[in-house]
Copies of this chain bind each other. A is one copy, B any other.
Amino acid sequence: MLNRSSYNEEVCRWDVFEIQYNGQDDNDAYIKSYIKGRFTGKFEEKTVDGFYDGEGKFIIRFMPSFEGEYTFHVQSSFFDAADTGSFMVKAPKKENHGPVRVHNTYHFAYEDGTPYYSIGTTCYVWHLQTDEMIEKTYELLESAGFNKIRFCVFPKHYAYNLNEPRDYPYAGKPMDSCVLSVENFNSYNGRAEGNEWNYMQFNPSYFRHIESCILRLQALGVEADLILMHPYDRWGFSCMDREADDLYLTYVTARLSAFRNVWWSLANEYDLMQAKSLKDWEHFADLICRQDPYLHLRSIHNCVHFYDYTRPWVTHCSIQRQDLYKSAEFVQEWRRHYKKPVVLDEIAYEGNIQYGWGNITAMEMVRRFWETACRGGYAGHGETYLNEEDILWWSHGGKLIGESYKRFSFLHEILCETPGYGLKPYERTSWDEVCAVPEEIGANGSYYLYYYSFMQPAFREFNITDTKEYEVYIIDTWEMTKTKVGIRSGKFKLILPGKQFIAVMLKAVQQK
């Protein structure tokens, strides 16, 4: 028998409403018992799974999408009759805009309609580092203005990250990692031998910690792009059987779906996970669609081969570039092909490690961001500089050494000037420039954002067919300056700095 121990009588829209129940401690509760809640307000009714949080505690969470009075109706294998009650949903706080949704086919907006221009980064297991380092990560995320972070639920085993995580997701014990070396670590990839886990018994503290991280991110305005599976693994979590995989995904979705800033990334480099087939991925996607009542954003990330992003469950492309030289430059093609938001979650990382995916310059990273943005997509950052403490942002968070991250807030500010929602590539522009215009037809002719990438023109000639007058700005994307040149219209010549990474913004003068 369970006793309700706590619940919120009031909650803000898009925050987590939670009810806790106390009962008997039982390690089999993860598989043997169920708890389910039906939540009913004036405009919605949702049924959600609860979960076992260990030590006899059951929890059920719900994210209300509307304001007003709600009732709950909870059923469980431990109840004779349903537990019921009610609560009030208040207006959200100012900085709470709800979950991020696809908007306008190629872009994102928060559920309240605020545009969301993704400036992402990748720190695969930042949350499994020391508290001190985790705090540093928060600080950096905030100061750099990132609004999305990709990270793994499971711990990571890879070059520059052979240490043990702070905790494990399952009851049991890991293989003895003293056998590992820089030379042999690869041969332990995707192996389960030596580990003794009970995949039917979670370690709730592991997940509670992730939840606290997600909440802190939420407070910072950062979306948590959660990687559910990945191949960099010596514990066997990448090669569990179907029963264990399903239990894991069911548990994770029950625990985490009510957090508004969660995105689901089915896998990082799905095509390197040899134990899984396309059929498996489709099965997992189906399970997540069923288990997540809030329809959080969903995608899957590739190594060599793109997943078929046309699949209906995929809300946006999560792309690792396939070409060493070109990445951002393909955004237009991918938009045309997939008709979904194009997020380049991996375009190589700024750094100097030995691998080609982790040693581009800061300038090239910033160039890829702008090139992506002006083609109507969203790029992602990561950093992999060698350093004495062996703290590589891409894996650990904690520390940024480079130069690119300082320049994304500026890009974000520029993106926020877009009339309507999001940019699209202007198709009738010259072959030797990128030009972005507003995605929305209603904003036609009101705004042009030209980008000259690695080229260094000392001037350019413009011929705007629209009869409007435009405020003209020259933007140095590297130095982060935006200089007003004056008002121009029609055909005109613009003197430019004759250096790389320059953009030009034309903004229609507002009619009085």
Contact = CB atoms under 8 A, between A and B. Distances in A.
B326 A458 contact: no
A324 B431 contact: yes
Contacts of A432: 324, 355-357
A78 interface: no
B352 A457 contact: yes
Interface in A320-368: 324-326, 329, 351-357, 359-361, 364
A325 B330 CA distance: 11
A433 B329 CA distance: 21
Interface string A417-439: 00000000000001111000000
B352 A458 contact: yes
Contact of A361 (B325, B364, B454, B461): B454
A352 to B, nearest CB: 4
B498 A361 contact: no
Nearest to A461: B354
A359 B455 contact: yes
Interface residues of A, number: 30
Interface string A291-331: 00000000000000000000000000000000011100100
Given A361-B454, A432-B357, A325 B324 contact: no
B459 A354 contact: yes
A353 B456 CA distance: 8
A353 B459 CA distance: 7
A361 B456 contact: yes
Describe A's contact surface by its main secondary structure. Answer: loop
A27 interface: no
A356 B434 CA distance: 11
A384 to B, nearest CB: 10
A359 B326 contact: no
A360 B99 CA distance: 43
Q: Which of A329, A351, A353, A354 has the most CB of B within 10 A?
A: A354
A498 B324 CA distance: 18
Given A326-B326, A329-B325, A352-B498, A360 B456 contact: yes
Contacts of A355: 432, 457
A243 to B, nearest CB: 37
A386 interface: yes
Contact of A460 (B354, B456, B460): B354
28 contacts: A324-B329, A324-B432, A325-B325, A325-B326, A325-B329, A326-B326, A351-B456, A352-B457, A352-B458, A352-B498, A353-B458, A354-B458, A354-B459, A354-B461, A356-B432, A356-B433, A356-B455, A356-B457, A357-B432, A359-B455, A359-B456, A359-B458, A360-B454, A360-B455, A361-B454, A361-B456, A361-B500, A386-B498
Given A356-B433, A356-B455, A359-B457, 18 more contacts: A324-B431, A325-B325, A326-B326, A351-B456, A352-B456, A354-B459, A354-B460, A354-B461, A355-B432, A356-B457, A359-B456, A359-B458, A360-B454, A360-B455, A361-B454, A361-B500, A364-B454, A386-B458
